[in-house]
A = this chain, B = another copy of it.
Amino acid sequence: MVTDAQHACFEAGIKFGSLYHQFAGTPVSPDSAASLERAMVEAIENQPFCESVAVDIDADALAAAADDHGYVELTGRFMEVEMRIEYEGVVVRTEMTMTDGYPLMRPVAVE
């Protein structure tokens, strides 16, 4: 009742929801953005069927938004994410980008 391609897309969605809700709210500054990017990548790549993750936190946007303490809490507006999931030979490429002011997660290709 569920094809391998559909199951692969389900797995891709899990990784996005996990990444976002595990790390949203983390205190982050321009200086700490690189270590958070790396930890996010390596954490989510642990999950099954997750071939690769790329996270790009926008240090300029952090700097512009930072409060008097010099940091903000991470939300989708500060990052772009790309992932590649592979399940039973099906590859799903996905990304999260800001679209109309909202961090939109979407599947880009199923191959």
- Asked if A60 is at the interface of the complex by the 8 Å CB criterion, the answer is no
Give the distance in Å from the alpha carbon of A73 to the alpha carbon of B76 in the complex.
10
**Chain A count of residues within 8 A CB distance of the other chain:** 58
Chain A residues in the interface with B (C-beta under 8 A): 1-3, 5-7, 9-22, 24-29, 31-32, 35-36, 38-48, 67-71, 73, 75, 92, 94, 101-102, 105-110
Q: Which residues of B contact A6 (CB under 8 A)?
A: 5-6, 9, 107, 110
Give the distance in Å from the alpha carbon of A47 to the alpha carbon of B2 in the complex.
23
Complex contact B28–A43 (CB within 8 A): yes
Give the distance in Å from the alpha carbon of A79 to the alpha carbon of B28 in the complex.
21
Q: Which residues of B contact A41 (CB under 8 A)?
A: 35
